[in-house]
Amino acid sequence: MTDPQDTKKRIIKVATRLFAEKGYDNSSIRAIAREARVNLCAISYHFGGKEGLYQAVLSQNLDEMLTWTDLLEMDNEIEALKIFLIRHFMLIRRRGPEIGVLLSREMAGNGKRLSFVTGRYFKPMLESMENIMARAIKKGVFRRVDPKLAVAGLIAQEIFFARSDTLIKQVLGEDVLDTDFFRQVMDHCFDIFLAGVLKR
């Protein structure tokens, strides 16, 4: 007898790749079922349909972000923000290129499902980082800057390096997956960020 969890994992794996390669609208349930070697009804049974499957793909890859509330409790705001940056970068790299491509498609597309992605993942993440920033401003660690813009700028740098590995390899001759270069990149991004926000 087929293990239902194994079936779900297989469907999610195939769906992640097809959604990344073709986009949501051009990925049919029939094609996903065929490549996952499951009955078409299995997708409805396990996920309630295509939209539910898409959300399951995101949850499988991004729900870890929802567990990072421990950073809000840290007394050292600078350290908390740096750990946040590293965790986010590592999550995207660890999940493989498909999830990055899928998210890029959402951000560049017509936004039909972008509200789910932003509402469940990115807004809470940014709000947490903004709260840490606001606390540091109140303590006098950071100068009075707009926490929202400062955090958005930091994340934008990190996303560039996380999603531009081919470009970086061709232009800089460096591999983003190399541990030493990764540390250098994270330190660089964070140093630029700190140079703009630290109280002088």
pLDDT tier at 2 (50, 70, 90 boundaries)? low
Cα 12 to chain center, whole Å?
17
Same domain for 92 and 81, yes or no, is yes
pLDDT exceeds cutoff 70 at 110 = no
Same domain for 138 and 75, yes or no, is yes
Q: Which residue has the tokens 């996952």?
A: 36
List the helix and strand counts (H, then E) for the chain: 11, 0
Q: 89: which 2 tokens?
A: 């970068």
Same domain for 50 and 127, yes or no, is no
Same domain for 82 and 175, yes or no, is yes
- The letter for the amino acid at 127 is E
Q: Give the CATH number, domain containing residue 9.
A: 1.10.10.60
Question: pTM (2 decimals)?
Answer: 0.81
Find the domain containing 150 and state its range. Answer: 61-197
Q: How many residues does the chain have?
A: 200
pLDDT tier at 133 (50, 70, 90 boundaries)? very high
CA 151, CA 61: separation in Å to the nearest integer?
Answer: 22
Same domain for 16 and 69, yes or no, is no
Please, what is the end-to-end C-alpha distance for the chain in angstroms? 66
Same domain for 76 and 40, yes or no, is no
